[in-house]
Amino acid sequence: MSGSTSAVLLAIEPAGRIAREIDDLWRFMLILSIPAFLLFLLPLLVALRRRGAVEDGDQRASTDQSRALSPLWLYGGGVALPALVVISVLGATLLTMRSTGEDAPDGALTVDVIGNQWWWEVRYPDAGVVTANEIRIPTGRPVQLRLRSADVIHSFWVPALAGKMDLLPEKTNTMVIEADEPGRYQGQCAEFCGLQHANMGIEVVAEDPAEFEAWVRRQARPAAEPVGSSAREGRSVFAAACASCHTVRGTDAAGRSGPDLTHLASRRRIAAGTLALTTSALTEWVTSPHDVKRGVSMPDPDLSEDEIAAVVAYLEGLR
Ligand code: CUA
């Protein structure tokens, strides 16, 4: 799994400490449940066989039946054994809950994640970095996520790194994620949140600490100046048509209702994972977001083909 993309949402391939402890708990419960299930199944099968024998008129079987109701069976199989199983599972669960808890260990990085219909805002409060739909983290370091929602309830779920946690409108929830190896870990909103719930993907990109620090420095910079006449024209079109919803740091565009686009071109996908970031995808999206993702808040902008090409050229320069 190291260094690769977990393309499928698989909780049984943990890629960090938190996910591994949850996975260990699940395996413990699985292994415990197999003998427990067989132990409970056995008397049931014996009873069913005897009942069949009684119905066949075998008198010897009915005397065996009364012998089977010994206190050992009743208290052992009916009280002690279930209690042992339940207490073991409870104990293991409490231990796992304590070690995978919401509190950040020392040295943790703090990242704010805000759920929106249907995308994720990602903020690094210490570095002043804002991005969307992609959370960069350094490997080997716990990261505390502070999760909340701008609208309805969403749920953060990156199964290779941790369990699920809800994003609520009126309360901030926290959780800790951690990745051992560099890689891309896929996630998905796990709480139905409207029409495009299924297209609310998120990706955690884990990098070596030095690479991560370099990424933070690049992201903290203001937007790149447009290069070329088309991109320059695109900036003017963007300022008139898009700036009331989107921020591009270093320009007058300071809207807050849509994703921050300061370094859009450094991301791999747009529209919360719906499209890979290519010229044609950007053109499709800017022309008619509703054809790509019906119900999104972004209105279809009333722009000519030339204006759209110019905006796309501008966006592609936002590295
Ligand atoms: Cu957000 Cu489902």
Would you state the pLDDT for residue 59? 54
Would you state the pLDDT for residue 173? 95
Distance 257 CA to ligand 1 centre (A): 17
Q: Do residues 223 and 248 lie in contact, with contact meaning Cβ atoms separated by under 8 Å?
A: yes
Distance 193 CA to ligand 1 centre (A): 4
> The whole model's pTM is what?
0.85
Q: Write out pLDDT tens, residues 45-98.
A: 988 888 777 766 655 545 555 555 678 877 887 888 889 999 999 999 999 998
Ligand 1 contacts (CB < 6 A) are: 115, 118, 154, 189, 191-193, 197, 200
Exposed / middle / buried, residue 92 (Cβ in 10 Å: 0-12, 13-18, 19+):
middle
Report how far Cα 266 is from the mean position of its chain's Cα atoms: 21
pLDDT < 50 stretches in the chain: 1-4, 6, 61
Distance CA 174, CA 195 (A): 26
Given the CA of residue 192, which atom of ligand 1 is nearest to it? Answer: 2
Would you state the pLDDT for residue 56? 67
Q: Which two tokens stand for residue 45?
A: 């099968």
183-188 vs 5-6, strand pairing mode = parallel
Residue nearest to atom 1 of ligand 1 (CA): 154
Would you state the pLDDT for residue 57? 61
Distance 292 CA to ligand 1 centre (A): 17
Given the CA of residue 154, which atom of ligand 1 is nearest to it? Answer: 1
